[in-house]
Amino acid sequence: MTMKAIRAGFAAALFALAACSSEAQNVAEIAEASGPLEAETVADGLAHPWGLAFLPDGAMLVTERNGGVVRVSAAGEKTLVSGGPEGVLRQGQSGLLDVALDPRFAENGLVYISFMQAGRDANRLALYRARYEQGALVDGRVIFRASPRGGAVHPGGRMAFLPDETLLLFVGVPDPLRDNAQDLSNHLGKVLRIDREGRPPADNPFVARAGAAPEIYSYGHRNAMGLARDGATGAIWLHENGPRGGDELNRLEAGANYGWPIVTYGREYSGGVITEERSRPGMVDPVTQWTPSIAPSGMAVYRGDAFAAWEGDLLIGFLAGEQVRRVRVGEGGVRQETLLAGEGRRIRDVRLGPDGFVYLLTDAEDGALLRVRSAR
């Protein structure tokens, strides 16, 4: 394994718009700097790794967007897992996406994999479930398919289980179809809540509304690649990629509307105006936003012993920013610290391991699984 100490300065890098951003008004530097860290390569040679789940034996399952599912042992040995979903659209941002273990994995061995499924006339985000058994995915089937859409961008796919064993699943929306994020008749631009069979629970917020998709949990989203629940507080966090600026951190609430594309701090990629509105009654403002864009991807809530000062903080990977951002949300606003900057590696996923250390996936054709430790 390769150990690389990262000893660049860790002063917080703040992205702000002086005129009108919640970031400028509410974000400050975290007072207690983390100090030098080490990013240890557990495994490399992963083809655009996207999602990560920890097995009870200390190994990990990693999805490769352009490949398959790989088992990585605690010692870094890689083994390709046989089986998996068929009809995967491996194009652009699409492919195999997130992976999650069933809450009762120790009893049933079930694994969930989100992926973009190619169709003759349209593509759609799909959820595959199989049993992990002796290095293979067996008895697999697709248990849920989202609304059809074209193209391969903004697939969504991030997942998080809730304490009641229901699953949150994010479905993205391509910009040409952006108005669908406000349309409750489809899944695009939504966080969905389904049970372990892919069905909508009876207490979902729009089950009783005529014409609404019963799986919807929240709406008005664009392109989220980070979803995490804080087991200590119950808070559910989602971050989103804006277009040109306007990347957001949101706290999810059932039935809430997060505004896209009616309100946003972002602009068209061409520089044109999407909307002049930054806030509107009945729509939830972001906890903070980042302009210019930093393309957040992956997120974990830190609860562990390895980094005591991080307790309760969010750790967010940045694709464009090529760093990890430590974010603390409190009554006094939002404070941040930049970690692992200067590496030149796009961070795709951030996970908290059962050992209390933080694990990262880097987005590249020769991607890596990293373990973050203190260098002291």
pLDDT in tens, 135-171: 999 999 999 999 999 999 999 999 999 999 999 999 9
Q: Where are the alpha helices (DSSP H) in 75-190?
A: 105-108
pLDDT, tens digit, 9 for 90 and up, residues 216-268? 999 999 999 999 999 999 999 999 999 999 999 999 999 999 999 999 999 99
Whose CA is closest to 98, among 164, 155, 150? Answer: 155
Which pLDDT does position 34 carry in this prediction? 86
Which pLDDT does position 375 carry in this prediction? 84
Question: Would you say residue 134 has pLDDT above 80?
Answer: yes
The one-letter amino acid at 296: P
Residues designated catalytic:
154
State the pTM of this model: 0.93
Which pLDDT does position 178 carry in this prediction? 99
Q: For the chain, list the domains and their CATH numbers.
A: 2-374 (2.120.10.30)
Average pLDDT of the residues of the chain: 93
Instruction: Using pLDDT thresholds of 50, 70 and 90, give the confidence band for residue 376.
Output: low
Q: Sheet containing 288-290: which strands, arranged edge to edge?
A: 224-229, 236-240, 247-251, 288-290
Question: Would you say residue 11 has pLDDT above 60?
Answer: no
Query: With 0-12 CB in 10 A as exposed, 13-18 as middle and 19+ as buried, what is 91?
Result: middle
pLDDT, tens digit, 9 for 90 and up, residues 188-223? 999 999 999 999 999 999 999 999 999 999 999 999
